Amino acid sequence: MKEIKGLGLIVVLAIVSIVLFNAAFIVDEQEQVIITQFGEPKGEAITEPGLKFKVPFLQVANYFEKRYLEWDGDPNQVPTKDKVFIFVDTYARWQITDPLKYFERLGNERGAQSRLDDILDGETRNAVASHDLVELIRSSNRVAETEGVIADIVNDSLENIQIGRDRIQEQIQELANQRAADLGIAILDFRFKRINYAEEVRRTVYDRMISERNRIADKFRSEGQGESSRINGEKERELLRIQSEAFRSAETIRGRADAQAAAIYNAAYNKSSAARELYAFVKSMEAYGKTIDKETSLIISTDSEFYRYLNSINR
Amino acid sequence: MAQEPNFEFNLPPQFEQITKNIRWVIVGFVAIMAGFSSFFTVETEEVGVVMRFGKYVSEARPGLNFKIPFIDQVKYVPVQRQLKQEFGYRTTSSGVNSSYRKAGYGGESLMLTGDLNLADVEWVVQFRIDNPYNYLFKVRNADETLRDISEAAMRQIVGDRTVNEVLTVGRAEVASEAELIIQAIVDEYELGIKIEQMVLQDANPPDPVKPSFNGVNEAEQQRETLINQARADYNRVIPRAAGEAEQTIQQAEGYALSRVNTAEGEVSRFNDLYSEYIKAPEVTKTRIFLETMEDILPKMGKKIITDEKGNSVIPLLQLQMDGARTTTNSNQ
């Protein structure tokens, strides 16, 4: 009898603990819970974390995230308003704001993600198709700092925009939120993660960039050659100027000296007829001295003055 | 069923002792488990987030900490460690010579600039978790969210600049502005993350365009080289020419001095001679003539004396002398 009593106690204890375990449930910090009874939601969502209780077996706890959840868009190839094909990769963060509605309309996260795909991808495509590319890229009318040389050759400035990236993102978010209003979710932030050219467009952009750079390089090279020629010309002009100025000065100095010398000579040699005679005589004597060497033969006529001198000396 | 009694027969006598005290064994076992479960160690760089029945209770500092066994759960968050996310490349092994891999991450780094060109920008975001509660409970997948934010923010900044600004002058500005935007969005999401630094590793033109960008740099170098060569040439020639000009002028000055001095010297000598000559012109002339002859006659080769009738032989003599110079002194 004692054994049966002990066994019964064990069974009762087991049943009580099973019931208790089924009645109790834990709500984590990042979760919220909807209690359903035979599939029908009961009461408000439980958002406070901690140990909670429900009617065992009859009620089921359905857990939902309370945190910001991620949504990552599919990279779509979309033409912009100005007919440029681009890939747009977007992301969003969303939250379950009304778990009850969410549970009714979407059921679980997979359903929610697929609805978000429909809504956000659709809105993105609409927005891209109704704006020029530059509106999707730029977010302000900032003025670019440009380098003089490059700006001379290629367009180095930024085109002004009417709406801009930030505003387009906000518009998509607003429209998407309107469409998701009765789904119990809210899109908290939507952004373009990546925008890139489609393959063919990218190639033409590369070609354009290459030709722009080549133009800049050509300009640099021709500037170099031009400047080098200018310096060379300056060098040659300077050289000729220096040389000719030196020649002019030198000749002026020489001429002045010649004139001075002539004046000195004239003053001495031309002061009287006797001076002129003496000068002519001395000069012709000097000329003898200069013109005569051992190759020279002298034929002296006996009636020459010189012979007369010699004769008188001999005697 | 028939085998069971056999088992009991084989059991050693000590086992019976254990089976008798089975409840004590279980109680002891549970007590040991509870003991182990009631304390936990938090490493230096971490913080332990304690949750009771799923509810956030407290944060445990590094060291040995206690909790209610089985009920409290601990999540460890490395708040002190500096974490980083790389964009456009990955460090494959870090050390003295870190190696990187870029292939396959072009999608992260290739982006449109404001002038609708393309740039390849690689960067790294260094961050710390500064609020473990927010990090764990505000956003699911906080790390992935930070990646998304970084990519969107970088493209927003680059999208407002020309390709030249991104690649050259505006690099530092791009990094600092992106950091501001990332931090602002992180705060908006309550990610519990603090951006420590945002480093722009590399901003390059896309690979197919790179050679032409390098070509621009080369052309710029060539321009400088050409100009420098021309300047060098100028500097080699002009100062030398200036020196040579100075030399020419000095030579002319020298000539002038010598010319005037010579003239003055000669004139002075002539004047002295003249003042004597004027006193006795004939004698002086004769003396000078004879002195000159004395001087020059010994230097001469042949000396022929003829009378006035012998003038007819002169042509013959000239032939014999065969080209030698002749000085005829007929009458002084």
β-strand partners of A76: A88
For the stretch B137-175, pLDDT in tens is: 999 999 999 999 999 999 999 999 998 889 888 888 899
pLDDT, residue B332, reads 39
> What single DSSP character describes residue B207?
G
Contacts of A267 in chain B (CB under 8 A): 267
Q: Does A210 touch chain B (CB under 8 A)?
A: yes
Q: How confident is the model at residue B311 (pLDDT cuts 50, 70, 90)?
A: low
B306/A300 Cβ within 8 A: yes
Pair of tokens at residue B150? 């970084």
Count Cβ–Cβ pairs < 8 Å, chain A vs chain B.
Answer: 376
Contact criterion met (CB below 8 Å) for B312 and B304: no
- Per-residue pLDDT tens digits for B244-257: 999 999 999 999 99
User: Edge-to-edge, what's the strand order for the sheet holding B303-306?
Assistant: B303-306, A297-301, B326-329
B306: CB partners within 8 A, 6+ apart: A299, A300, A301, A302, B313, B314
pLDDT (0 to 100) of residue B35: 84
Question: Please, where are the H alpha helices in chain A?
Answer: 2-23, 99-105, 109-116, 122-129, 133-137, 148-153, 165-179, 199-269, 273-291, 305-314
- Record: contact A224-B245, CB cut-off 8 A: no
Best of A147, A200, A296, A314 to substitute, by most chain B Cβ atoms within 10 angstroms, is A296
Indicate the range of A211-225, A253-267, B254-268, B318-332 predicted with least confidence.
B318-332
Region A268-294 average pLDDT? 84
B contact test, residue of A298, A308, A312 with most B CBs within 10 A? A298
User: Cβ of A306 and B329 within 8 Å?
Assistant: yes
Q: How far apart are CA B331 and CA B311, in angstroms?
A: 13
Q: According to the model, what pLDDT value does residue A245 have?
A: 95
For chain B, the first-to-last Cα distance in angstroms comes to 178
Do B164 and A93 make contact, defined as CB atoms within 8 angstroms? no
User: Is A101 near chain B, with CB under 8 Å?
Assistant: no
Residue B2 — pLDDT band, cuts 50, 70, 90? very low
Calculated CA dihedral for residues A152, A156, A157, A161, nearest 10 degrees: 140
Residues 212-251, chain A: which have Cβ within 8 Å of B?
213-214, 216-221, 223-225, 227-232, 234-235, 238-239, 242-243, 245-247, 249-251
Chain B residues with CB-CB distance to A120 below 8 A: none
Nearest to A246 among B111, B225, B245 (CB): B245
The Cα–Cα gap between A180 and A170 comes to: 15
Q: Which residue from A minimizes the CA distance to B332? A: A305
**Digit-coded pLDDT (tens) for A178-224:** 999 899 999 999 999 999 999 999 999 999 999 989 998 999 999 99
Q: Which residues contact B17 (CB under 8 A, 6 or more apart)?
A: none
Mutate to test the interface with B, among A301, A309, A310, A313 (most CBs of B within 10 A): A301
Report the pLDDT value the prediction gives residue A311, as an integer from 0 to 100: 65
User: Do residues B243 and A243 touch, judged by C-beta distance below 8 A?
Assistant: no
Q: Is residue A137 scored above 50 in pLDDT? A: yes
Q: What is the pLDDT of residue B331?
A: 42
**pLDDT band with cut points at 50, 70 and 90 for residue B34:** confident
Q: Is A131 exposed, middle or buried (0-12, 13-18, 19+ CB in 10 A)?
A: buried
Mean pLDDT lowest for which of A175-184, B27-36, B250-259?
B27-36
Higher pLDDT, B169 or A95: A95
Q: What is the residue-averaged pLDDT of chain B?
A: 85
Cβ–Cβ gap A253/B256 under 8 Å: yes
DSSP state of A20: H
**pLDDT grade for A167, boundaries at 50, 70 and 90:** very high
Q: Is A133 on the interface with B (CB under 8 A)?
A: yes
Mutation target to probe the B interface, by most B beta carbons within 10 A, among A213, A252, A288 is: A213
Residues 8-37, chain A: which have Cβ within 8 Å of B?
Answer: 26-31
Q: What value does the mean pLDDT take over residues A276-298?
A: 81
| Pairwise pLDDT comparison (A4 vs B141), residue with the higher score | B141
Q: Give me the mean pLDDT over the A160-189 stretch.
A: 92
Range B279-308 average pLDDT: 79
Phi-psi region of A43 (alpha: psi -120 to 50; beta: other; left: phi over 0): left
- In this predicted structure, what is the pLDDT of residue A148? 65
Token duo for residue B285: 């002339």
Q: Are A28 and B51 an interchain contact pair (Cβ–Cβ within 8 Å)?
A: yes
* Whether the predicted pLDDT of B315 surpasses 70: no
Which pLDDT band holds residue B318 (cuts at 50, 70, 90)? low
Question: Residue A268 has what pLDDT?
Answer: 87
CB contact under 8 A, A293 and B299: yes
Pairwise CA distance, residues B266 & A279, whole Å: 11
Has residue B329 got a pLDDT over 70?
A: no
According to DSSP, the residues that pair with A280 across neighbouring strands are: none
Q: In a 10 Å sphere around its CB, with 0-12 CB exposed, 13-18 middle and 19+ buried, how is residue A314 labelled?
A: exposed
Closest chain A residue by Cα to residue B318: A297
pLDDT band at B326 (very low <50, low <70, confident <90, very high): very low
